[in-house]
Amino acid sequence: MTQYLIRRLIQSVLTLFVISIILFGLISSVPGGIMSAYEENPDFSAEDIARIEAKYGLNDPVPVRYAKWVMNILKGDWGNSFVSKRPAIQEVKDRLPNTLILMGSMLVVTLLIAIPLGIISAIKQYSLFDHISTTIAFAGQSLPVFWFGLMLIIIFHVTLRRPDGRPLLPGSGMVTLGAPPSLGDRIEHLILPVTMLALVSAAGYMRYLRSSMLDVIHEDYVRTARAKGLRERMVLYRHALRNALIPLVTLIGLDLPSLFGGALFTETIFAWPGIGRLYFNAALKTDYPVVMAVLLIYSALILASNLLVDIFYAVLDPRIRYS
């Protein structure tokens, strides 16, 4: 296992290096150049643009600029945002807690919905419950996320009202402006974005777990456990579910980087000040240091999550060994 981990770490570093080259090349090929969006901006003088171009070597050949950028990254200098003039990595750090709150809540709610429904659906295959939950899951996977979010805002923020005339639920932001901070207020602002993300994500998770459980509960070792006289609950949860969770662990592992990256559509629609919205705004304004910081960190987390998934495979299934 140790040799496998070392080999995978080396592969991950090399992969990240290749990804950084591709990302840097794509951003450097922006039509008109990286600074084209700022040339007509009254907030940026010709001296400002010249200073930025000199600092980041934007007039140098792309390979030279890439080499300088990598050296700065290794020194901990991710550059300054063209818009806020603050360090790009600080912009990411400031938004990270907001994204973790949103995406962490979403993941917990998703699993609380998907795992029980997936298990019951598999146990009661072709029952009325199975047909209804499967239909809802297909509908959830088919819904455009941005449309679903807008419908939630129209229904619960615009249409439905409290007795005092206020909207039933907040439709944007993290807190109510002018109100003292409180846990209840934060939860109210989480309800709509978390509902939007969790229902769509739970649909896919439930379908995978249902399919995996159906494969597992007909295996010989499950029949043997029943023949030994074990209670059905122990057979399902100790023997069947543990192996059925392997495909779900793969999905969760691949989705873990989204805890950092946030949900672009969700954070934009609900004006949630997270990393997804930061990246969207930075991309619109060609804020190259912030875009590169978000993309590179997100890529590194994807590689790390794939390695964690392989490790969890060995934990869940003792038959899996890496040499």
What confidence tens digit (pLDDT) does each residue in 260-279 have? 665 777 888 888 888 888 88
- How far is Cα 90 from Cα 108, in angstroms, rounded to an integer? 27
Fold classification of 88-316 (topology level): MetI-like fold (1.10.3720)
- How far is Cα 152 from Cα 154, in angstroms, rounded to an integer? 6
pLDDT at 2: 72
Examine the pLDDT at 323 and tell me if it is beyond 60: no
- How far is Cα 105 from Cα 92, in angstroms, rounded to an integer? 20
pLDDT at 125: 84
Q: Which of 107-121, 174-188, 225-239, 306-320 has the lowest mean pLDDT?
A: 306-320
Name the nearest CA neighbour of 299 among 9, 73, 104, 13: 13
Name the nearest CA neighbour of 124 among 236, 8, 266: 236
Examine the pLDDT at 76 and tell me if it is beyond 60: yes
- Contact between residue 251 and residue 152 where contact means Cβ atoms under 8 Å apart: no
Examine the pLDDT at 168 and tell me if it is beyond 60: yes
- Contact between residue 189 and residue 177 where contact means Cβ atoms under 8 Å apart: no
- How far is Cα 248 from Cα 111, in angstroms, rounded to an integer? 10
pLDDT confidence bin for 314, thresholds 50/70/90: low
pTM of the entire predicted model? 0.79
Domain ranges of the chain: 88-316
What value does the mean pLDDT take over residues 281-305? Answer: 86
What value does the mean pLDDT take over residues 301-310? Answer: 81
pLDDT at 316: 61
Secondary structure of 36-78 as H, E, C letters: HHHCCCCCCCHHHHHHHHHHHCCCCCHHHHHHHHHHHHHCCCC
- Contact between residue 120 and residue 214 where contact means Cβ atoms under 8 Å apart: no
As given in the structure block, the two tokens for residue 47 are 């001296």
Examine the pLDDT at 322 and tell me if it is beyond 60: no
Examine the pLDDT at 7 and tell me if it is beyond 70: yes
Query: CA 64 → CA 22, 49, 67, 190, distances in Å?
Result: 15, 19, 5, 45
Query: What DSSP state is assigned to residue 263?
Result: -
- How far is Cα 127 from Cα 144, in angstroms, rounded to an integer? 28
pLDDT confidence bin for 32, thresholds 50/70/90: low
pLDDT at 273: 87
